[in-house]
Structure 1
Amino acid sequence: MYALVDCNNFYVSCERVFNPNLQGQPVAILSNNDGCVISRSDEAKALKLPMGAPIFKWEAFCKAHNIAVLSSNYPLYGDMSNRVMSILRQFTPDVEVYSIDEAFLQFKGFQYYDFNDYGTQMRRRILKWTGIPTCVGMAPTKALSKVANKIARKFPNETNGVYVINSEAKRIKALKWLKIEDVWGIGYRLAKRLTAKGCKTAYDFTQLPDSWVFKNLSIKELRLKKDLEGIASIQLDEVTNKKAIATTRSFDYTYDNLDYIKERIATFAASCAEKLRKQQSSCYMILVTLSSDRHKKTAVQHRGSQTIHLACPTNSTLVISKEAVKAVTRIFRKGVKYKRAGVVVMGLVPNDNYQLQLFAHENPKHKPLMRAIDGLNNKYRDNKVKLGNQDLEQTWKMRQERLSPKYTTNINDIIKITC
């Protein structure tokens, strides 16, 4: 048996936990640099505030309808997500964190459990311990648990936020209810293609011949079809090391100052290097990108990238940052205002298994230095130890004019109660 646990309007729910005044009020959360709407409460959805709405175009609408608009508070959301996932691991050890607000669970050896009751227990514990409302869908396969979750979310009064597909009749009824474009794993183009084939619902998709699906689509869609038929074909994903690591950000404003851009690139490079060390890997290549604001048609446009090939693999912040800064200096053009930059490390190899070079090697002092830096940053958090060419006050510079306090990750923002 599988379950999909999904947090309802997660970003909004996190804000409401610490600000009860937002309960029952329409709320919208903005993307990086306060750009567009990326999360809405049910009240905001009812007012027809669209997902992805640019806030500068919808500001008057939000004010007219008393919609509370907030900046994204990623430290808070990340911490609350970790709390929810840790609670889920109390119910089964087999948990796949699918995104910041949802996870798949697998139940092995739970044949005699009442899954509706078990799902209700999960939902109540998460709500009691974190204040985050959730919906739980349970079924014999991953794809069907996604369908069950949609039903629990769509009909909260009838399901009490928990729905279990535990019979053939329930499976068929659910698949006939679900539109083909809403099936997990079927995108817009594939949905259009299947609709032309006569598939209007998920049930129609399961009626296609296996040979046609395999020949005209792919093995991925065939596995999805089998999963929807109740034959478990999609397993929980195991955590594996990444084949490339990227840190890319939009700036809060456009900049034509090379020193500022070099500092941003140094910070992005340091983030990539830290992630490399966490997964015990090193990189052979570094890609640096820099681009202007393509939305400003009248401004001078420029996009460039540089790839650096290293003589020997490294995960040293010193080396990666130095090479990345050199690359962005070569890309930079005077008179161009840049909006976005990024660093990508590629050609990853495990630290304990790579080709040695006879004449090229990394400074042996770097490894113990990186261990010391990582140890201090893990102990004191907030990346207290940085390179000299980084901003010592702030890691990510974003326009966040409507930011709520970091209630759970910053001691200065902790809620104070007067008794």
Structure 2
Amino acid sequence: MRSDQVFALIDCNSFYASCERVFRPDLAKTPIVVLSNNDGCVIARSYDAKPFVKMGAPYFQCRDTLQRHGIVAFSSNYALYGDMSERVMSLIESMVPAAEVYSIDECFADLTGVQGSLTEFGRQVRAKVLKCTGIPVGVGIAPTKTLAKLANHTAKRLQAQTGGVVDICDPFKRDWVLRNTEVKEVWGIGRRMTAHLETMGIRTAMDLAKTDPWTLRQKFSVVVEKTARELAGTPCLELEEAAPPKQEICCSRMFGKRLTELAPIKQAVASYAGRAAEKLRAQGSVCKRMRVSIRTGMFNPDEAKYAKGVLVELPYPTNDTLLLTRAATEAVEQVYRPGYRYSKAEVLLMDLRQPGEFTDDLFAVTQPVACDRLMSVLDAINEKYGRGTMRSASVPRAPDWGMRREMMSRSYTTRIDQLWRVG
């Protein structure tokens, strides 16, 4: 049995585009891009679309380019992507000793103690995920999380040679990867840090691994020091099996069109407050403070600009959708000014804690037990029948201010009326 610590990073390839392809096999060899809210800009690209369009390119600017190269554009379908992510992560968690879901398309796994060839084990994980979900993944295996991330990058970069799985636990293979990887590709090394490191002659991952960690700590930060130590094979980052509760929860959206009247803005803010409350209850937290803000578009020189927010103190720590919605819509009345064309609103829940962590006096008001039961019923109904089935009366079913998603695929896995049809 292997005793040395071993990590794997399992990363979905072009995740959003892969989700779209699962239910559109006719697009298996067609380049795909996925657009941001309101079909604004490109936020995801399949591998074969990357040579023709840059990440973040505005859709209205690259539309002709996409058509010229036969690239199919999809509006973002977060319900589909979220559900497919849960399926992939659940499958991975069933196959490994321990796992940490790092993002919607990435998962760290602890392979310490796994017997036999780790490369073969990685191929088994990859094959099972592809068979059961249709999502291709890459697997990087190494003694530290940073090296596992680097191995995963190599697995995808050299997929034809690696088959999507790279194990660099062997020092010879590890050194080859470090020498052949630019420092900008190292996890946690951003564009600015890359420029600073290059002035010191650090141009590859190997250069960074060989740099004195204490020098990096004094010149930059403890984060860069840990990165260098991890590249050298010393584990500094542990697996976090349970993600800590978020300290803030934000729900922010661009409107599908400019809004000038107060009523539809209040509807939108009520919708965002309800969604934020769902996230709050999902992590078992309550909040005591909330910030509500609205703003106009900031880039059109022909439009008057305005942005303002207000801080709201809640009467008691709460996760009650109705209370949060009422407080948020009342706050909109304080910041709204007529004569502007508003493009966005934001609800930010702050001062989050677990129930019982707030220290109040004996006579302080607390959330009623009946409210807790009501929220449990609300969440159970929405989980069973779909988000928004039960909601605040101030939120319409199909608002005209909703996001523009003219090219959105069906919610194949979360709505019974949109199930995949074959034949």
Moved more, 141-150 or 206-215: 206-215
SS in 2 for 1:348: strand
2:19 equivalent to 1:14: yes
* Distance across 2 between alignment mates of 1:374 and 1:210: 49
Contact map agreement 1:289 1:342 (CA 8 A) in 2: yes
**Correspondence for 1:234:** 237
Cα displacement (A) at 1:356: 2.7
**1:404 and 2:409 aligned:** yes
1:115-130 alignment, distance < 5 Å: 115-130=118-133
Pick one of 73, 78, 84 that aligns with 1:80: 84
| Residue 105 (structure 1) shift | 0.7
Q: Quick one: which of 380, 383, 391 aligns to 2:388?
A: 383
Select which of 218, 222, 233 maps to 1:219: 222
2:344 to 335, 340, 343: 340
Cα deviations by residue, 1:100-144 (Å, 9 ceiling, x for unpaired): 11111111322x321010000011111111111111111111011
The equivalent of 1:417 in structure 2 is 422
| RMSD between superposed Cα atoms in Å | 1.6
- Tell me by how many angstroms 1:280 deviates: 2.1
Instruction: Determine the structure 2 residue equivalent to 1:113.
Output: 116
One-letter amino acid matched to 2:38: N
| C-alpha distance in 1 between matches for 2:197 and 2:12 | 30
Letter in 2 for 1:240: P
Contact 2:256 2:400 in 1 (8 A): no
Distance 2:105 2:376 in 1: 32
Which residue pairs with 1:243 in the alignment?
247
Aligned match for 2:94, one of 90, 94, 106: 90
Residue identity opposite 2:345 in structure 1:
A
For residues 385 and 19 of structure 2, the distance between their equivalents in structure 1, rounded to whole angstroms, comes to 24
Q: Which of 148, 163, 168 does residue 165 from structure 1 map onto? A: 168
Partner amino acid, structure 1, of 2:11? D
CA–CA distance in structure 1, aligned partners of residues 99 and 230 of structure 2: 18
Paired AA for residue 7 in structure 1: C
1:46-100 Cα offsets, whole Å, 9 max, x none, are 3x21111111011111112211111111111111111111110122141111111
SS in 2 for 1:241: coil
1:64 aligned to 2:64? no
SS across alignment from 1:374: helix
How far residue 396 of structure 1 moved from its aligned partner, in angstroms, is 9.1
Deviates more, 1:379-388 or 1:395-404: 395-404
Match of 2:185 in 1: 182
**Contact persistence 1:267–1:395 (CA under 8 A):** no
TM-score by length of 1: 0.95
Unaligned runs of 5+ in 2: 1-5
Deviation at 1:193, TM superposition (A): 0.4
Asked if structure 2 preserves the Cα contact closer than 8 Å seen for 1:386 and 1:392, the reply is: no
Contact 1:311–1:360 (Cα < 8 Å) also in 2: no
3-state DSSP class of the match of 1:78?
helix
1:300 aligned residue: 304
The one-letter amino acid of 1:230's match is: G
**How far did 1:279 drift?**
2.1
**1:276-355 to 2 correspondence within 5 Å?**
276-355=280-359
Question: Gaps spanning 5+ residues in structure 1: where?
Answer: none
| Identity across matched positions, percent | 37
